[in-house]
Structure 1
Amino acid sequence: MSEKLSFVNPTPNSPWGTYLQQVDRVVPYLGGLAKWVETLKRPKRALIVDVPIEMDDGRIAHYEGYRVQHNMSRGPGKGGVRFHPDVTLEEVMALSAWMTVKTAAVNLPYGGAKGGIRVDPKKLSLKELEKVTRRYTSEIGIIIGPHTDIPAPDVNTNGQIMAWMMDTYSMNVGGTATGVVTGKPLHLGGSLGRVKATGRGVFVTGREAARRLGLDLRGARIAVQGFGNVGSVAAELFAEAGAIIVAVQDHTGTVVNEKGLDLEKLIPISRTVAGAVSFKGGDVVPNEQFWDVACDILIPAALEGQITAARAKKTSAKLVLEGANGPTVPEADDILAERGVLVVPDVICNAGGVTVSYFEWVQDFSSFFWDEDEINVRLDRIMMNALNHIWDTADKHKITLRTATYAVACERILMARQERGLYP
């Protein structure tokens, strides 16, 4: 953050600025708890670390890393770690805050945290990637732990990264600590169902939202932006329910087929270096045309800030399912609401991942593991209960689902803050 920037004065159009506007909108629904709202506008702790490593060619390279703990009134910090060349402190602050809201919205006993390194992992060898991961883990080791802050996978990180993080932390504390991270490989204490959990949560909340709107999933046209773990899993589940995936956009470009994309062939191709645009079963179009594709359901599952005001004005979708964190800017939110487009917000829509991360954490402590059917049943129940409570709140106050989600979550967070009091 620059010298001119404070927590409450973000840079223009930043993710942190979007989050602060979302908090401001919920203040009228907090009653007496509103006096604590400034708590939500300031991260509890923000750590910036230098991550130096020796590259394969002998050079010494330095990368900048972050770990932000936004609020821990309800429990340990919880949130992923992303490796991306555009990671900034403000972005990580916003992501940690959204995790605070997300965990409270589904009533998990967590606070919110997030981490990241400004690095392009695609330019690193496997050995260099391991070095970056281990050095970063050692640097943030002073604030993470099974009972304090539990990282997880995010953009460009995976089970292998989590295994290295767990091992590094364990070596530094002198004992195996499986509960320090979630999203680990199964044989290191990972949980069944974790890989597909976020995409499954998008599908479960989307299925219920479509039912309430009277939108039949059979034949419903769906456009998916971001075709990684979240977008592809959600697309598969919707297709199994009879929906038609008409457009997909990934980091390589946009492919469209009005009659429906063959996911069985597209998904394996999208996971290669060539990406979705190498798929021959659709037309490759300029990325901006993705937002013009005729669809009933839009799933932004890439990065934040993708649905701008201009894009909100032209989408034909009746339902937006936010698989990504913060994909819709506040101005676009207002436009979608005015147009009658229902938005299921990120902090409930993509909460399936953190919910199964919670299951993994619980299983690690008990050393007793559940089968995947039990995990999916538990996940679906938690997601549905949370969404129904939020929907009732939205109906009661005549507000959007996003504002209702924040009202429910912020009330829980600030009630915990109030009842705990201030120390010293």
Structure 2
Amino acid sequence: MTAPLMTLAWTDHVTGRQGYLVVDRLVRGVSSGGLRMRPGCTLDEVAGLARGMTMKEALHYNPEGRYIPLGGAKGGIDCDPRSPEAYGLLVRYLRAMRPYIESCWTTGEDLGLTQDLVDRAAAEAGLVSSIQAVYPLLDDEATARKRLADAFAVEVDGIGLDELVGGCGVAESLLAALDRAAVPYAGTRVAVQGLGTMGGATARFLARAGLTIVAVADVKGTIANPEGLDVEALLAARDAYGTVDRSALRPGDRELPGEAWLSVEAEVLVPAAVSYVVDTTNQRRIGARWIVEAANMPVLPEAEALLTERGITVLPDVVVNSGTNAWWWWTLFGDIDADADEAFARTRRSMRALTDLMLARAEADGTTPRAAAHAIVADRLPVIAERFGWYR
């Protein structure tokens, strides 16, 4: 793949903090990728995420669908989202990036930010929408925007549909892998790192499928129970940042150190919080059979090589956590309506097919799932470029 099309580093004139935008690729002049805010965010991190978005868009390419894949991009701000200066910094960043958001970069919530917060800051920054660059590609902009707004207003069990579809996709990817390996759901134990939007929804869908969630980790540490945690109770007891109120724990639930989730007895680990959490040192503690990347880039490449040598399969982020992005565009372009049942059915069907394709390719090529996903992307990008072009 080529180098990023555009790389931009920005310095806030008020706080001196850094922000970044990387446009990895364009399709018909437009790219897609969320905006994250976390302390320590770097340009290299954002570039890697932008490349991942190019891959996610290509992997969901359907020649017969209304949704036309976009290019990949990503934004990042080096700041703790809980900081008192975070919101003002977000508004100034969006003002600085306004020319790109208006013309070529569609963005939305990512790590540290919610869509409501991005929407509020975008309005204050003078933007029509954080995804307005895609509007010229729509057949009926007014109808499409209403359909997406209606979809964001849908709630299931008191939780927004937009917060659930990503976890539904992660869960379905794992279930597809288990089915290919003929592993029953009952008795399969799972540890989840991060109980925010993605991790919480993943835990819910896996528990409802019959798997046993034996550990969850948040900023306060790991909560574990070998007999299984009450996922719904923990989700009800978390704050806006995914931190669980410990008063909700049952007598059999244990509080363990933060990294204990890596080494609990479980068949599946789901890192669903931050990047770079599995490295060459702590990978030795992992005894699980599968690692499912619900977060972006949680396993370092060198660590993945060592895990592969030990027979541990990493289901990569570019496939596993791509459901949310796809749901946005399926809805906006009109492949699905603002309906939870339709959204979940399309997500399950698409994620299962994509996971099966990746695992079959890995088996045929004798490679890892990640290498197989890269190979699929390498096949599709020239087709997309030939059909739609980079620029309008």
TM-score per shorter chain, which class?
Answer: 0.7 to 0.9
Query: What is the number of residues matched between the two proteins?
Result: 365
Distance of aligned partners of 1:224 and 1:302 in 2 relative to their CA distance in 1, 3 Å threshold: same
Contact 1:151/1:180 (8 A) holds in 2: no
What is the match of residue 43 of structure 1? 4
Q: C-alpha deviations, 1:128-169, integer Å up to 9, x for none?
A: 554333221111011123x62110100111122232244246
The one-letter code of the counterpart of 1:80 is: G
What is the match of residue 139 of structure 2? none
What is the match of residue 199 of structure 1? 167
SS across alignment from 1:156 = coil
Q: C-alpha deviations, 1:290-346, integer Å up to 9, x for none?
A: 222100111111112112233333322112111011111122222222222222111
What is the match of residue 413 of structure 1? 381
Contact 1:252/1:274 (8 A) holds in 2: no
| 2:336 paired with 1:338 | no
Counterparts of 2:28 and 2:354 in 1: how far apart (Å)?
17
1:374 corresponds, among 334, 338, 342, to: 342
1:83 corresponds, among 37, 59, 68, to: 37
SS across alignment from 2:108 = strand
SS across alignment from 2:100 = coil
1:209-358 to 2 correspondence within 5 Å?
209-271=177-239, 275-276=243-244, 278=246, 279-281=248-250, 282-358=253-329
2:51 corresponds, among 85, 92, 97, to: 97
- Deviation for aligned residue 1:73: 4.3
1:128-139 to 2 correspondence within 5 Å?
129-139=86-96
Counterparts of 2:86 and 2:274 in 1: how far apart (Å)?
22
Counterparts of 1:185 and 1:287 in 2: how far apart (Å)?
42
| 2:75 paired with 1:115 | yes
Counterparts of 1:325 and 1:274 in 2: how far apart (Å)?
17
- Deviation for aligned residue 1:64: 2.0
The one-letter code of the counterpart of 2:83 is: K
SS across alignment from 1:154 = coil
Contact 1:225/1:302 (8 A) holds in 2: yes
What is the match of residue 158 of structure 2? none
Counterparts of 2:349 and 2:86 in 1: how far apart (Å)?
38
The one-letter code of the counterpart of 2:82 is: K
What is the match of residue 99 of structure 2? 142
Q: TM-score, normalised by structure 1?
A: 0.78
RMSD over aligned Cα atoms: 2.9
Counterparts of 2:146 and 2:197 in 1: how far apart (Å)?
15
What is the match of residue 10 of structure 1? none
Distance of aligned partners of 1:114 and 1:309 in 2 relative to their CA distance in 1, 3 Å threshold: same
Q: TM-score, normalised by structure 2?
A: 0.84
Counterparts of 1:112 and 1:105 in 2: how far apart (Å)?
12
| 2:29 paired with 1:61 | no
The one-letter code of the counterpart of 2:213 is: I
Distance of aligned partners of 1:161 and 1:345 in 2 relative to their CA distance in 1, 3 Å threshold: same
Q: C-alpha deviations, 1:364-388, integer Å up to 9, x for none?
A: xx9x943121122222222222222
Contact 2:19/2:77 (8 A) holds in 1: yes
Contact 1:81/1:151 (8 A) holds in 2: yes
Gapped regions of structure 2 (runs ≥ 5): 62-67, 135-144, 155-160
SS across alignment from 1:276 = coil
1:359 corresponds, among 327, 330, 338, to: 330
- Deviation for aligned residue 1:277: 6.8
What is the match of residue 383 of structure 1? 351
Contact 2:101/2:131 (8 A) holds in 1: no
Counterparts of 2:327 and 2:193 in 1: how far apart (Å)?
23
Counterparts of 1:63 and 1:388 in 2: how far apart (Å)?
43
Contact 1:166/1:180 (8 A) holds in 2: no
